[in-house]
Structures are given as structure tokens and as C-alpha cells.
């Protein structure tokens, strides 16, 4: 490798490390928790407020939800609560399970109906609850329970969670604080997709990351990379060496953007325990590896007359078309997962059609030009 290329390679590696570092360092806290008695759950998610999170296994056929809710109480002698609101999105109407320590140190889990801010009644809930149990360890309280979800929940529930500082006489939870975190501790829980979000929360990080992940990958592997291939295959015939710089610019830009998309995908995977899109993930990993090899081809490129140039061309073009095909396939796999509005898929298909049409026209023009040049050369040699 020439000394002229070494600074560019070092800069490239430095740029990739900057992009990857913030993405790979994130890890959802719920994934690190180990339960007593070897209890396990299929999914978990960090809740947005009060340092809390929830694990669950959902049987959609029986509408049964087995869950564990964890949160640190406001004080060691305080309480934690998780509730489902069958008819609304806030505290009023919530059917709540509350865990706290009794005076003798044992844990209690009780059920309360929050009919209004002043009418909080202990008693049976509007849906069946069983297997209630509470634990306190390491400053965190856990509520274990199984509930039969209300009709019409369809795998989505309005959840409310809360923590308090004290318990009256070891039997009744006292009022909680009314700080911003306490007031915002509510939203929706998608039991199938494994997502927790607020209707009015534009900062829904997981949904935002999904959209960013999709956009980056569409722009990278779905648009820039195909354009770069068109530059190399067709512009080369008409403009040399301008085609080379256009090609390299497109492919490096595609790779940098794609690394961002790959990184957000890794982060989403770490936040979605129990949810695995195997085909999309495996294609993404393969695509990233192939693209990395393709970028390194720039630094390994021998001179035109070098004895290894033929093998380099096979390697470079073979991997390049592999990235093109895998990228487009994986974009459509992403559409299946994200399920955006139909117009976005139609727009992408239309764009691919335009690029395909341009490639077809340029293919015909290029062959026409090449054949004319060969004919002119043959005529000149014959004369």
C-alpha cells in the first residue's frame, strides 16, 4: 500500500469508530436483570420514567399476561405500583397492583381501583389477577403477577406506573410525589412488538430510532450505492477519470450513512429483548461485512497493468453487485417490519424503477458507443 493512501485509510477508520462508538455502547437495563427462582420472560422494555422497567410473557390466544414490574421506591419504606387502565390513558380508572413492605418486613402486593384522584379503593380489579408476589432486593421492588387482559386490548394496554415514599401503618400506600417524572409515568405498552411509548411523547426514542434506522439504510444501500454502481459502469465510457471520483464519492457516502443505519439497528436489537427479525438481522450483518470489504478495495486497488488487477476486478465487482442485491432485499425486509404508510414503499419502488430505466438506457447507449469505437479502430487498422 502506498504511503499516499495510508493517511486516507487512518482517517476512514477513525471516522467509522466515531460513528460506531455511541451506538454500540447503549444497552437497555432490563436486559441485565436476573430473577430469583429462575423466572424468565420473553420480552422486556425500559419504561421512560422513574428508573423502572417491565418484563413479560404474553399469551395472545388466552389474553394472559405474566409480568414482572421493577422500580426503586421513593424511599426504602415506600412502594411501587403498576396499573392497567382499560378505558383511558391516565391515572383515573386505572386498575393497580401496589407492592410495599409491611411493618414486619414482609412484602405485600395489593390491588386498588383508582376511580378518581380521591376515590382509591382496595379490592378486586375489573379483570382477573393471580400469582401476585412481591420482592425487595438491592433497593428495587418487584411485582410479579399474571392478569387476564380486558376484552379489546388486542395486545396493547394503557399502562400507569408509580412510586411512593411511605406506607401508612404498614398497610396502605401514602400519596406519591407530583414531580414531572411522577406525572409522566404513563403511556401504552405493545405486548406483541415489545414497545412502550406515550401518545404525546415526540421523543419516543425507540420509534424514532426505528425510523432513523430505516431512512439511513434506504438512503445508503437502497439509493446511493446503486447510483455509485451506475457511475462506475456507464459514466466511465464517457468521462474518464471523472467517473472514478463520482463513484468513490457515492460509495464512501453510502458506507458512512450505512454504518449509521447499522449502528442504530444494533441499538434497537439491544433494546428489544425477545424480538428477533432473523432474516433482516442476518442480511444486515452480511451486508455490512461485504460493504466493509468493498470500501477496503479502494485502498487495495492495483494499477491497471498489475498482474493481480484481474483478480481485484472480480473481487470488487462481485462484492459490489452482492451489496447491491442484499441492500435492496433488506430494504424491503425493513418495510415489512416497520410497516410505514404505503406511499413510502411506492415511492421507493418508483425510484428503483427510475434508476433501473436509466441503467437500461445507459446500457444500450454504452454498448452502441463501445461497438462504434471498436468498428472505428478496426477500420483504422484495416486501412
pLDDT digits (tens, 9 = 90+) for 332-349: 988 887 767 788 888 899
Q: Given this model, what pLDDT does residue 21 score? A: 40
| Rg from Cα positions in the chain | 29
Picking from 219, 184, 190, the residue whose alpha carbon sits closest to that of residue 202 is 184
Query: Which CATH number is 49-197 given?
Result: 2.60.40.1210
pLDDT value of position 198? 66
Sheet containing 129-137: give its strands across.
43-46, 53-59, 64-71, 140-148, 129-137
In angstroms, the CA 380 to CA 383 distance is 5
Contact 140, 72 (CB under 8 A): yes
pLDDT of residue 15: 46
Q: Are the C-beta atoms of 136 and 80 separated by less than 8 Å?
A: no
Residues of the chain with pLDDT under 50: 1-8, 10-28, 201-203, 273-274
What's the pLDDT tens digit per position in 68-80?
999 999 898 999 9
**pLDDT averaged over every residue in the chain:** 81
Query: What letter does residue 224 receive in the DSSP assignment?
Result: I
d(CA 234, CA 237): 6
Domain borders along the chain are 6-22+205-382, 49-197
With H, G, I as helix, E, B as strand and everything else as coil, classify residue 44: strand
Q: How many residues are listed for the chain in this entry?
A: 383
Phi and psi at 152, nearest 5°, equal 85, 0
* Ranges of H-type helices in 272-308: 278-300
CATH of range 6-22+205-382; options 1.20.120.1770, 3.50.50.60, 1.10.10.10, 1.10.287.610: 1.20.120.1770
Amino acid at each position: 500500500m502506498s504511503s499516499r493512501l495510508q493517511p486516507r485509510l487512518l482517517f476512514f477508520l477513525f471516522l467509522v469508530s466515531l460513528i460506531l462508538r455511541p451506538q454500540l455502547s447503549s444497552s437497555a437495563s432490563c436486559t441485565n436483570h436476573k430473577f430469583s427462582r429462575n423466572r424468565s420472560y420473553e420480552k422486556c422494555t425500559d419504561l421512560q420514567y422513574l428508573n423502572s422497567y417491565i418484563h413479560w410473557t404474553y399469551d395472545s390466544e388466552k389474553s394472559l399476561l405474566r409480568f414482572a414490574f421493577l422500580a426503586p421506591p421513593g424511599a426504602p419504606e415506600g412502594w411501587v405500583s403498576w396499573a392497567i387502565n382499560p378505558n383511558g390513558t391516565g391515572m383515573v380508572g386505572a386498575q393497580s397492583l401496589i407492592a410495599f413492605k409491611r411493618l414486619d418486613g414482609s412484602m405485600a402486593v395489593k390491588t386498588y381501583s383508582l376511580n378518581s384522584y380521591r376515590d382509591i379503593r382496595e379490592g378486586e380489579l375489573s379483570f382477573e389477577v393471580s400469582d401476585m408476589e412481591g420482592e425487595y432486593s438491592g433497593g428495587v421492588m418487584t411485582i410479579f403477577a399474571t392478569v387476564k387482559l380486558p376484552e379489546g386490548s388486542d395486545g396493547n394496554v394503557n399502562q400507569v406506573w408509580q412510586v411512593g415514599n411511605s406506607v401508612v401503618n404498614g398497610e396502605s400506600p401514602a400519596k406519591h410525589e407530583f414531580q414531572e417524572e411522577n406525572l409522566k409515568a404513563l403511556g401504552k405498552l405493545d405486548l406483541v412488538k415489545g414497545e412502550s411509548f406515550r401518545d404525546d411523547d415526540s421523543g419516543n426514542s425507540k420509534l424514532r430510532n426505528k425510523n432513523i434506522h430505516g431512512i439511513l439504510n434506504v438512503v445508503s444501500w437502497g439509493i446511493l450505492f446503486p447510483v455509485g454502481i451506475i457511475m462506475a459502469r456507464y459514466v466511465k465510457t464517457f468521462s474518464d477519470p471523472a467517473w472514478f471520483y463520482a463513484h468513490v464519492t457515492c460509495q464512501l457516502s453510502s458506507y458512512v450513512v450505512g454504518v449509521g443505519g447499522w449502528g442504530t439497528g444494533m441499538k434497537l436489537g439491544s433494546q428489544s429483548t425477545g424480538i428477533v427479525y432473523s432474516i433482516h438481522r442476518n442480511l444486515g450483518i452480511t451486508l455490512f461485512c461485504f460493504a466493509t470489504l468493498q470500501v477496503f478495495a479502494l485502498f487495495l486497488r492495483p494499477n491497471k497493468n498489475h498482474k493481480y488487477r484481474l483478480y481485484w476486478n472480480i473481487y470488487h465487482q462481485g462484492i459490489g453487485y452482492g451489496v447491491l442485491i442484499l441492500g435492496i432485499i433488506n430494504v424491503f425486509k425493513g418495510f415489512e417490519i416497520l410497516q410505514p404508510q404505503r406511499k413510502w414503499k411506492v415511492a421507493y419502488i418508483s425510484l428503483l424503477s427510475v434508476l433501473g430505466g436509466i441503467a437500461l438506457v445507459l446500457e444500450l447507449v454504452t454498448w452502441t458507443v463501445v461497438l462504434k469505437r471498436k468498428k472505428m479502430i478496426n477500420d483504422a487498422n484495416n486501412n
